[in-house]
Amino acid sequence: MASSSSSLIRRIVPFFTTRIRQNYRLLNSYASSALSQPQSQSQVEAPDSVLMAESCVRVDKKSSCRLRIGSWNIGTLTGKSIELVKILQKRRVNIACVQETRWVGSKARNVDGYKLWYSGAVRGKNGMGILVDRELREYVVEVRRVNDRLMFIKLVIGECTLNVVSAYAPQAGLDVEVKRRFWEGLDETVRSFPPSERLFIGGDFNGRIGSAAGSYGKVHGGFGLGDKNGGGTSLLDLARAFELVIANSIFPKREEHLVTFQSAAGRTQIDYLLLRRCDRGLCKDCKVIPGESLATQHRLLVLDIGILLKRKRRCARGSSRIRWGALTKDNAQELEKRLSAMGA
């Protein structure tokens, strides 16, 4: 049996080295048309087992995607950018809103796989930034720097559009006019997003929303910290006006996972993440991550969401080629007959 197979192979090899090489283009041309058109009785088929798809196309497929959005007042970004990115990688943060960068300019830079867009007007004061990881940075289609306290980015992933806003509200002791300009600017920014687009706001709002929801039950989940003040009321009013919900108020947490700011004067909650009320079901968790020493006073706040995205996957089609290694005794004889019939 072995000698018979060896004899057959010795006869087949010269045939393939001469005839098939001469007709290589003909075979591939035929394979391409055979896959793309209905076949007639006169068309000659190569054995299916020796055809292999060579090209692919992309088709849509819906899949669930987990995203983690963070917000952090880092005090200053000078000398901290690499360390910041390492923390974001460790904590699996995909998009991070950072406040008080204290950098001047409206630029972008790559930091160890993340893309950082930042905005600042006065050296050593205020300044905003948004970082996006390696997987999502290619989906950013717009970056808008409103001022040194407000900026946003827009991402389009399949059929899903996400707007991420980074905000830094004035401190309690600043002039009333400064506060008014900030809240009006944030109002105009939020108003500019179509209701069909998803919206996430992360920022240091220098205000306390309090532990009780009170008359703000639709925007305050009832799990806050401390007593409400003027800055917190302004945030609650904004959320109510645009049908938003404060994410870090809707999950029961220990105090350690609610405190976003600590100093010698005490521990409180002044940093928040917000999203549209209709998207509340997307919110899987929202908490403070203690233990990171990058910023001395503020803590990293993260929001986990699950979004159904229409992603792409590859599907085989198109031109085929011969898998010579798959030739067996039987289909080699079959292919020889078909080539002979074609006049090869």
**160 contact partners, CB below 8 Å, separation of at least 6:** 198, 307, 308, 309, 310
| H/E segment holding residue 163 | strand 160-168
SS3 call for 285: strand
Please give the pLDDT value at position 315: 53
Are the C-beta atoms of 239 and 265 separated by less than 8 Å?
no
Provide the pLDDT for residue 301: 98
Buried b (16+ CB within 10 A) or exposed e, 179-200: beebbeebeebbeebeeeebbb
* 199 contacts 282 by C-beta, under 8 angstroms: no
Task: Please report the domains of the chain, with CATH numbers, ordered by start residue.
Answer: 2-55+321-341 (no CATH), 61-311 (3.60.10.10)
Rounded average pLDDT per 10-residue block, the chain, 344 residues? 54 56 53 48 50 46 82 96 97 98 96 96 93 97 97 94 98 94 98 98 98 96 95 98 98 95 93 98 96 92 86 54 69 77 68
Per-residue pLDDT at 51: 52
